[in-house]
């Protein structure tokens, strides 16, 4: 998968402070929105491609389709492109994570040292046939957009929990957590996945007492077990408390705060936990409501995901789906790759996305990033393997900036030395992981990485040293 296209796209955040953060109207991607023609398509015009949804998957698919010379229309109900990721998700949350980290550093550490032709229709689209989408526009009108190929790219929504009603005041989703008017004294996070731990880190740095309630036995279950244990210890060291194997039975918002009734997941005595604000982050669910998929016969699974083949085609010819509405990782960058590959197929080219090689990143501090298989997955497959590890404490750059918590871990096939998985806990792990993503894409060995000259002093040297530890021995421990 070529990374050049991704490198050319970047998000731009205007200056904003930590306490009055969410002026989301100021967020724009660096490509010019004026290049999107804002005229409405009439019913007599037929597009080559119509995309319902302007999030990371949808807008990237629209740009790629236009680049390939296809007449394209993108329909977006929000009135601002970028979807959840840009407007109330990935980009603002990462900016807030960075801002809160800088605030924390200033308070605790600094004393120790510083264009594309796409028709853009604003409105809510729904199918009236496999080749027609009716759009209720933001201006109050209606228009019909016709297309030879229609792509559903409507993304996902917050997953609700029984007995818990999100009001975005006392009980908030990740969207509401970005817009709290004041710092809660006690914040309870329901769900120990990516989003919950990231937002918990933000408010913990700003002074909130954070308690994470998780039904399962582990935080971030997709993470390598050894890395997960170190990661949890790191979060606990920063004051985050965890109640694992714990179920939320209900919430009471009648008083000034919130009272949660809890019990062990396996059953047992009930307890009450009090909070000022509760963040519900138990995952996300495909957003397909109101699209009238049933009207045209599009099949979905029990989880509400649209079923597609390897070319992203649904069971209805001419109707495609990408991103969070189909099986696979619910990640913005996966949706982008889906969008490019899907449009390439439509244009008669060949597209491909390998879901086993999509990197995942938890944007806390330190970050955790990984790609490929965990040690537990490799062991379950019965593969003979070797593990190489290198601690950040032995990395000169990490020590020089006094930020040396974490490690790099590589899992490789014992016989062939082929890299099976790479797991990094480090500052900027999300940047360090891509060398390994490329290595996995090309079936590289750990020796391949170890024999590449890495600049000194850099944190990426820890990846090289871990690779050396996998097939032979590291130098600096």
Q: Which residues of 436-451 are buried (b: 16+ CB within 10 A; e: fewer)?
A: bbebbeeebbbbbbbe
Structure tokens at 47: 């597009």
Q: How many whole angstroms separate alpha carbon 406 and alpha carbon 362?
A: 13
Closest to 116 measured CA to CA, from 196, 181, 195, 36: 36
What's 39's DSSP letter?
P
Q: What are phi and psi of 50, to 5 degrees?
A: -120, 130
DSSP per position, 130-149: TTEEEEEETTS-EEEEEEEE
Output the known binding site.
94, 125, 154-156, 191-198, 214, 283, 324, 330-333
Binding residues for FAD: 94, 125, 154-156, 324, 330-333
Q: First-to-last CA distance in the chain?
A: 35
Strands of the sheet with 186-190, listed across from one edge: 171-172, 277-280, 186-190, 209-213, 241-243
Mind giving me the DSSP string for 378-438? HHHTT--EEEEEEEGGG-HHHHHTT----EEEEEEETTT-BEEEEEEEETTHHHHHHHHHH
Q: Which residues, at least 6 apart from 391, have a Cβ–Cβ distance to it below 8 Å?
A: 404, 406, 407, 462, 477
Instruction: From 243, 186, 255, select the one nearest 216 (Cα to Cα).
Output: 243
CA separation for the pair 94, 333 (Å, rounded): 15
Q: How large is the angle between the packed helices 332-346 and 56-67, nearest 10 degrees?
A: 30
Is residue 352 annotated as part of the catalytic site, yes or no? no
Q: Are 257 and 241 in contact (CB under 8 A)?
A: no
Residues in the chain: 477
Distance, in Å, from the CA atom of 321 to the CA atom of 259, rounded to the nearest integer, reads: 41
- Residue linked to tokens 């939320």: 248
Kindly name the residue from 108, 352, 456, 476 that is annotated as catalytic. Answer: 456
Give binding residues for NAD(+) as ranges: 191-198, 214, 283
> Tokens 């016709």 correspond to what residue?
146
Catalytic residues: 456
């Amino acid at each position: 998968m070529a990374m050049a296209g991704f490198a050319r796209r970047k998000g731009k955040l205007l200056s904003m402070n930590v306490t009055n953060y969410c002026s989301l109207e100021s967020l724009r991607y660096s490509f010019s929105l004026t290049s999107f023609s804002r005229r409405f398509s009439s019913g007599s015009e037929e597009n080559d491609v119509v995309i319902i949804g302007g999030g990371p998957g949808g807008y990237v698919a629209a740009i790629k389709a236009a680049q390939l010379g296809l007449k394209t229309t993108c329909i977006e109900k929000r009135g601002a492109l970028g979807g959840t990721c840009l407007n109330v998700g990935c980009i603002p949350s990462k900016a807030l994570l960075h801002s809160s980290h800088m605030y924390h550093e200033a308070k605790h550490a600094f004393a120790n040292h510083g264009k594309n032709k796409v028709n853009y229709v604003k409105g809510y689209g729904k199918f009236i046939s496999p080749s027609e989408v009716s759009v209720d526009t933001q201006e109050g009108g209606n228009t019909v957009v016709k297309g030879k190929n229609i792509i559903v790219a409507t993304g996902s929504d917050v997953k609700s929990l029984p007995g818990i009603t999100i009001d975005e005041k006392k009980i908030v989703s990740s969207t509401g957590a970005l817009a709290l008017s004041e710092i809660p004294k006690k914040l309870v996070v329901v769900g120990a996945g990516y989003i919950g731990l990231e937002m918990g880190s933000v408010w913990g740095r700003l002074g909130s007492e954070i308690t994470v309630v998780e039904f399962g036995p582990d935080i971030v279950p997709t993470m390598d077990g050894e890395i997960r244990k170190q990661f949890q210890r790191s979060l606990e060291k920063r004051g985050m408390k965890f109640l694992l194997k714990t179920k939320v039975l209900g919430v009471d918002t009648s008083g000034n705060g919130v009272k949660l009734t809890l019990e062990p997941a396996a059953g047992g005595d009930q307890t009450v936990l009090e909070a000022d604000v509760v963040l519900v982050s138990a995952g996300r669910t495909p957003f397909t409501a109101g699209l009238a998929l049933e009207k045209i016969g599009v099949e979905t699974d029990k989880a509400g995901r649209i079923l597609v083949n390897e070319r992203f085609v649904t069971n209805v010819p001419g109707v495609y789906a990408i991103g969070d509405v189909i099986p696979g990782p619910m990640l913005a960058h996966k949706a982008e790759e889906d969008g490019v590959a899907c449009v390439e197929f439509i244009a008669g080219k060949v597209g491909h996305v390998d879901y086993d090689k999509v990197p995942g990143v938890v944007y806390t501090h330190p970050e955790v990033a990984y790609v490929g298989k965990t040690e537990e997955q490799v062991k379950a497959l019965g593969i003979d393997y070797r593990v190489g590890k290198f601690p950040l404490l032995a990395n000169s750059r990490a020590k020089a900036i006094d930020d040396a918590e974490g490690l790099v871990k590589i899992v490789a096939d014992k016989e062939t030395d082929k890299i099976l998985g790479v797991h990094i806990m480090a500052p900027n792990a999300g940047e360090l992981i891509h060398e390994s993503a490329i290595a996995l894409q090309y079936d590289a060995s750990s020796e391949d990485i170890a024999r590449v000259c890495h600049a000194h002093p850099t944190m990426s040297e820890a990846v090289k040293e871990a690779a050396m530890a996998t097939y032979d021995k590291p130098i600096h421990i």
